[in-house]
């Protein structure tokens, strides 16, 4: 505009700036879309819940829901630490494949995809080859400091160990775990229509047997062996009943004398006519806060050892043999060479749910430890691979001259790892469909 020009403002330019009323309309539309999405999702959830109740699989569905929550808590670890590190997170999704439901809040899209076999968080600039808008480069993962990249990479697995810890606290303090060093009498039954030695000796259902002949039990088998080895001889049992310690004497009868069908060595074994189980014990809340650490350490160490064994030459040979002879893998030692597919995990969830909350928590604990350990294998695309790359870049970097690894050289390794994971998934699915595992909770 020249000096003295009295024309009005540049209306064409003004059209490019939305008015406050337009912003309010857009915001109202966004909120309306969000609530419509929430309403649709609520209807789907209600429908699934109603169907599960009708089919009497509500307990199984709850366990599967817990598994979904575990997946999203893993991703929440990455999401929260990335946000805390001021990285730009564009997606937070459950599942893979086509979108079936999503909404956007701020710069992040949240939603569900068609294949619920995992979840992911998309952070800009996860590698040196990814194209990032110039204005987003400062907030890219690759531009963050080493401690922040390390925190984002390990956060998912850390969340699994946190969940495992909380599960054990609940299990120890409120649900209880089986005490393998004692034996609880479930029932006392007649032996061949005659009063059993247990009943004659004063043993009652509910008694907890703690010792035999003055020796504290190391496990239930210790008691069984002592009884079987003492036909027609008095056996003294240390029993706890209603909080009091008692000693009762029983005289096992020879199994063959009351069960004529038994023969050979079995006919010389003693029996007293009881059904035994391991008693369920809880500990105080304060004691339960410290107790999980040793369990998590032991189980994690065993998981690392098992994974190393699986991927050793002998482990690979055993797995190939298992695929050739799948019937040998349904129970016992043969089952240890298998991985579980989502189908197998859902079956385990159903079996655990039919037993009770203790079995469910035990299953969830073991899955959390396995996933937490497996994800830290130092190979891309696993979280441990990102830790490895970030650490290597930190070692190669110099002051004011950050080093970025050539990710193109790592692509073949990444594809090879993905191929192994897919192969394990497909073969595990084959075994779970054709030769399902025997019920470990039965």
Residue 23: Cβ-neighbour burial (10 angstroms; 0-12, 13-18, 19+)? exposed
Closest by CA position to 414, among listed 370, 372, 377, 368: 377
Q: Is the pLDDT of residue 22 over 60?
A: no
Name the helix (H) or strand (E) containing 158. Answer: helix 146-170
All structural domains of the chain with their residue ranges: 20-149, 178-281, 285-434
Report which of 77, 71, 70 is spatially closest to residue 93, judged by C-alpha positions: 71
Mean pLDDT of 59-66: 84
Residues of the chain with pLDDT > 90, as a percent, come to 60
Phi/psi at 384 (nearest 5 deg)? -60, -30
Tokens of 48: 């699934």
Topology (CATH level 3) of domain 178-281: Pdz3 Domain (2.30.42)
* Torsion of the alpha carbons at 35, 38, 43 and 47, rounded to the nearest 10: 180
More confident residue, 37 or 155: 155
288: left (phi over 0), alpha (psi -120 to 50) or beta: alpha
Q: Is the pLDDT of residue 392 over 80?
A: yes
Q: Is the pLDDT of residue 34 over 70?
A: no
- Distance, CA of 421 to CA of 440 (rounded, Å): 25
Phi and psi based region of residue 279 (left: phi greater than 0; alpha: psi -120 to 50; beta: remaining): beta
What 3-state DSSP class applies to 306? Answer: helix
Question: Which pLDDT band, with edges at 50, 70 and 90, does 369 fall under?
Answer: very high
* Integer CA distances (angstroms), 282 to 161, 242, 286, in order: 22, 16, 12
pTM of the model: 0.81
**Structure tokens belonging to residue 177:** 């775990």
pLDDT for 135 equals 95
Segment 79-129, tens digit of pLDDT: 999 999 999 999 999 988 888 888 899 999 999 988 877 899 999 999 888
List of long-range contacts for 382-391, beta carbons under 8 Å, 24+ apart = 382/417, 383/153, 383/154, 383/156, 383/157, 384/153, 384/157, 385/414, 385/417, 386/126, 386/149, 386/152, 386/153, 387/150, 387/153, 387/154, 390/146, 390/149, 390/150, 390/153, 391/146, 391/150
Using the predicted structure, report yes or no on whether residue 59 has a pLDDT greater than 90. no
- Residue 288, strand partner residues: none
Report, as an integer, the average pLDDT of 290-308: 96
pLDDT tens, 397-426? Answer: 988 888 988 888 999 999 999 999 999 999
Place of tokens 């999702």: 41
Does the pLDDT value for residue 143 go beyond 70?
Answer: yes
Max CA distance (Å), the chain: 125
For 17, phi then psi, to 5°, come to -105, 110
pLDDT (average), residues 51-70 = 76
Distance in Å from the first CA to the final CA of the chain: 87
Number of Cβ within 10 Å of residue 316's Cβ equals 12
Q: What mean pLDDT do residues 218-236 have? A: 90
95 SS3 class? strand
Which of the pair, 18 or 207, is modelled with greater confidence?
Answer: 207
């Amino acid at each position: 505009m020249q000096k003295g020009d009295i024309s009005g403002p540049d209306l064409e330019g003004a059209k490019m700036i939305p008015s406050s009323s337009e912003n309010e309309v857009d915001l109202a539309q966004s909120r309306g879309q969000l609530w419509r999405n929430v309403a649709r999702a609520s209807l789907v959830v209600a429908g699934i819940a109603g169907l599960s109740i009708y089919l009497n699989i509500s307990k199984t569905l709850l366990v599967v829901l817990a598994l979904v929550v575990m997946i999203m808590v893993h991703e929440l670890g990455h999401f929260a630490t990335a946000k805390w590190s001021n990285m730009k997170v564009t997606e937070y999704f459950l599942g893979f494949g086509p979108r079936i439901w999503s909404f956007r809040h701020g710069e992040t899209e949240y939603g569900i995809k068609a294949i619920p076999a995992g979840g992911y968080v998309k952070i800009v600039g996860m590698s040196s080859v990814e194209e990032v808008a110039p204005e987003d480069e400062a907030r890219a993962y690759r531009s963050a400091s080493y401690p922040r990249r390390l925190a984002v990479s390990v956060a998912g697995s850390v969340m699994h160990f946190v969940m495992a810890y909380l599960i054990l606290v609940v299990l120890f303090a409120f649900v209880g775990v089986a005490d393998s060093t004692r034996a609880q009498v479930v029932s006392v039954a007649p032996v061949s229509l005659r009063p059993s030695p247990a009943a004659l000796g004063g043993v009652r259902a509910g008694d907890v047997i703690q010792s035999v002949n003055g020796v504290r039990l190391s496990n239930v088998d210790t008691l069984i062996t002592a009884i079987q080895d003492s036909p027609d001889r008095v056996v003294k049992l240390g029993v706890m009943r209603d909080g009091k310690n008692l000693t009762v004497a029983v005289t096992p009868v020879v199994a063959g004398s009351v069960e004529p069908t038994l023969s050979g060595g079995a006919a010389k074994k003693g029996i007293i006519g009881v059904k035994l189980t391991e008693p369920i014990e809880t500990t105080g809340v304060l004691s339960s806060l410290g107790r999980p650490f040793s369990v998590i350490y032991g189980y994690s160490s065993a998981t690392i050892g098992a994974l190393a064994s699986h991927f050793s030459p002998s482990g690979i040979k055993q797995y190939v043999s298992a695929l050739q002879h799948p019937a040998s893998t349904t129970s016992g030692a043969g089952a240890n060479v298998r991985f579980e597919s989502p189908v197998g995990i859902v079956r385990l969830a159903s079996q655990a749910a039919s037993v009770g909350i203790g079995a469910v928590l035990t299953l969830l604990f073991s899955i959390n430890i396995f996933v937490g350990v497996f994800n830290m294998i130092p190979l891309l695309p696993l979280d441990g691979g990102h830790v490895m790359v970030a650490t290597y870049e930190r070692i190669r970097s110099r002051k004011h001259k950050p080093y970025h690894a050539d990710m193109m050289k790592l692509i073949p390794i990444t594809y090879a790892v993905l191929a192994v994971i897919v192969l394990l998934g497909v073969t595990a699915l084959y075994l779970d469909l054709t030769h399902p595992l025997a019920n470990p909770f039965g």
